[in-house]
Amino acid sequence: MAPSNAPHRIVFANEKGGTGKSTTAVHVAVALAYQGAKVAAIDLDPRQRTLHRYLENRAETQRRRDVALPTARFDVFKGESVEELEALSAEVGEGMDFLLFDTPGRDDAFARHVATTADTLVTPLNDSFVDFDLIGQVDAETFKVRRLSFYAELIWEARKKRAMSTIREQKREMDWVVVRNRTGFTEARNMRRIDQALTELSKRVGFRVTSGLSERVIYRELFPSGLTLLDKGHLGELGTSHLVARQEVRQLIAGLNLPLPGKPQRELALAAGA
C-alpha cells in the first residue's frame, strides 16, 4: 500500500524509441521545480541514461556558471529486481512531491512495473501509425481501430485494478495521458486519420490526449548544457522558433494537469517566465 504522503509518480513510457520521452521528462521536471515543488527522477535505462545525463549536464552548468537553477534530485537504476527498484524509489523519492521515471524505448520488465504503478502515465507518440501501433491496431482500409495492443491492455487492466482499490488502499487513480509530439511534420490527411483513431481508442481505454513538442533543433542543442526552454535569462537571445517551442512546453505542462501541492490547478509554467 502506497502511503498517502508518497510522491506523485509520473512515468514517461513508450516501448518505441525516438518519441521524445527524455526531453519531455526533463522539461516537466524543471517546470515543476520552478513552481517550488520538490522533484526527483529515476532513469531506468542504465545504458543510454539520457535523462540522467541531461540532469548531470544541468548540474555542471550550475557549477560552471555559478548559478542556481531549479532542478531535480536524480539517479539511475542499475538493479535486477522490482524490490531493488522500489527501494531506490523510496530512497530517492523521500520527502519529494513528485517522482519521475524515464523508461527505455523497448519492452522492459521494470518499465512495465512503474507504468502500472503510475499516478500520471505519460506516453509520448509521434504522429504516425508506426507509433500508434504501440497502443492499438487499425484497419488498413478504414483506419478504424481493430484491437488494443498488448501495452494498452496492460495499462487498461492496471487502471481497473487501481480504480477498485483507490478508496480501500488510499491509492490515487491513474491518469493516462497520450502526448502527441512532432505534429507539425505530419501530412494533413494522415493527421486527421490519427485524430480519429486516437479519439476512438481514448473512449475505449480512457486515456487523455494533449499536444506535445515539435521536432525543433533547440531541444537537441540544449542537451549539452542541461538547460531547458523554461530557463529564461540563461539562454541568450531567442529567435521566433525558440519562443514558439517555449509555448509548446507551457501548453504541454498545462495539458498534463499535475497536482501541485498547496496550489490550485493552473498552468505550472507561468512562474518560469513569460
pLDDT in tens, the chain (274 residues): 445 588 999 999 887 777 788 999 999 999 999 999 999 999 999 999 999 999 999 999 999 999 999 999 999 999 999 999 999 999 999 999 999 999 998 888 999 999 989 999 998 887 777 777 777 777 777 777 877 887 888 888 888 777 776 554 555 788 999 888 765 555 667 778 888 888 888 888 888 888 888 767 788 889 999 999 899 888 877 677 778 888 888 999 999 999 887 664 444 444 444 4
| Sequence-separated contacts (24+) of 83-91 with Cβ below 8 Å | 85/44, 85/110, 85/113, 85/114, 88/42, 89/42
DSSP state of 7: P
**Which contiguous run of DSSP H or E holds residue 23?**
helix 21-34
Give the span between the Cα atoms of 179 and 198, in whole angstroms: 11
Which of 3.40.50.300, 3.80.10.10, 3.20.20.10, 3.40.50.880 is the CATH number of 8-269? 3.40.50.300
Structural domain spans, the chain: 8-269
**Predicted pLDDT of residue 57:** 97
Query: Rounded distance, CA 44 to CA 50, Å?
Result: 10
pLDDT at 186: 53
pTM: 0.85
CA dist., res. 232 & res. 272, Å (int): 7
